Amino acid sequence: MGRKQAREGAMQLLFQIECNGEFGEDVVGAFLENFQFEGNEAKFIEEAIQGVLDNREHIDSLITKNLEGWSLERLAKVDLSTLRLAAYEILYRDDIPVEVSINEAIEITKKYSSDDSYKYVNGVLGGLVRGLEKDE
């Protein structure tokens, strides 16, 4: 496995948290035990989940600015989870190139969401990045 699988795992755990409305150390621990992630993968997942949850308000506000006629509540939970993970990487992980975060989000969306959702995810993330570049 590698970062790609860890990213998918992080999205799945964010999806689970979103669907169940609960988060705790035990939720992360149980998830990691059930799916047998290796050390670096587990560390990435833990950091990503904590990073998204700690910065959720900021992440959601930037996603919302780029939804064009949609709201967070109307998004499919898998798309929302993928957008939050990618936005976290773009905003808070200097070790991951923006292009990689966007490409991986598109690939996850193609795998787990509806046929055309990846186009929307790509557009939202592109708008988010352009907005950040304007602010610099």
List, for residues 1-55, the tens digit of each pLDDT value: 578 899 999 999 999 999 988 776 788 888 988 888 888 999 999 999 999 999 9
Average pLDDT over residues 103-107: 98
CA distances in angstroms from 41 to 2, 8, 48, 135, 136, listed in the order given: 6, 10, 10, 33, 32
Task: Give the predicted TM-score (pTM) of the model.
Answer: 0.94
Distance CA(123)–CA(136), nearest Å, equals 20
Task: Map out the domains of the chain with their CATH numbers.
Answer: 3-135 (1.10.940.10)
